[in-house]
C-alpha cells in the first residue's frame, strides 16, 4: 500500500504543471482559471456524517470541511442539495465524485438539475437524486 501511495504521488508530481506556467500569463483571468482548475483536480471529497446526519466534505490537510446543504437518504435513494462558493471547477469535481460513487460504484441511476454557478462563482449549486434500479 505504501509503495502505491508513493507511486501515485510521484506520478502526480511528474505530470503536474507548475505554477510558473500559469504565472507566465499576462491575463489575470487566465491565472485565476488555471489555479481553480489545478486545485479542483487535486480535491478529495468524502461522504461522512455531521451531527449524525449524512454529508459531503472536502479534504484540506488533516481536516475535512463540510460542503453546505443537505443530503437525505432512504433504503433505495439518496438526494443531494449542495451549495458552495468555490467556483465552477470545484462544482464539476464534486458532481463527478458523486456520480462516480453512486452510478459507477453503486449501480444507481441519477437525475439532476443542471449544476450551476453565478457569474462571480460565489453561488454554486448541485441538486442530484440517485435511486437503485
Question: Do 50 and 97 share a domain, yes or no?
Answer: yes
Q: How many domains does the chain have?
A: 2
Local structure of 62: helix, strand or coil: coil
Ranges assigned E (strand) in the chain? 45-50, 53-60, 63-66, 68-73, 77-84, 108-117, 124-132
Q: For the segment 104-132, what is each residue's pLDDT rounded down to a tens digit?
A: 888 899 998 888 899 888 899 999 999 98
User: What order do you get walking across the sheet with 108-117 strand by strand?
Assistant: 68-73, 77-84, 124-132, 108-117
Question: Do 54 and 35 share a domain, yes or no?
Answer: no
Q: Give the residue numbers spanning the domain of 20.
A: 1-41
Q: For the segment 50-76, what is each residue's pLDDT rounded down to a tens digit?
A: 888 899 999 988 899 999 999 999 989
Work out the pLDDT band at 16, boundaries 50, 70, 90.
very low
**Residue bearing the bigger pLDDT, 106 or 27:** 106
User: CA 94 to CA 100: how far, in whole Å?
Assistant: 10
% of the chain surpassing 90 pLDDT: 43
Which of 129, 132, 3, 14 minimizes the C-alpha distance to 72? 129
Amino acid at each position: 500500500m505504501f509503495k502505491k501511495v508513493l507511486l501515485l504521488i510521484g506520478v502526480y508530481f511528474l505530470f503536474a504543471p507548475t505554477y510558473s506556467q500559469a504565472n507566465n500569463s499576462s491575463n489575470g483571468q487566465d491565472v485565476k482559471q488555471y489555479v481553480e482548475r489545478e486545485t479542483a483536480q487535486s480535491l478529495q471529497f468524502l461522504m461522512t456524517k455531521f451531527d449524525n446526519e449524512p454529508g459531503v466534505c472536502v479534504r484540506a490537510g488533516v481536516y475535512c470541511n463540510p460542503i453546505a446543504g443537505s443530503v437525505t437518504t432512504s433504503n433505495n435513494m439518496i438526494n443531494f442539495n449542495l451549495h458552495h462558493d468555490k467556483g465552477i471547477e470545484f462544482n464539476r469535481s464534486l458532481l463527478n465524485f458523486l456520480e462516480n460513487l453512486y452510478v459507477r460504484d453503486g449501480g444507481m441511476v441519477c437525475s439532476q438539475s443542471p449544476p450551476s454557478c453565478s457569474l462571480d462563482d460565489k453561488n454554486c449549486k448541485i441538486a442530484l437524486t440517485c435511486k437503485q434500479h
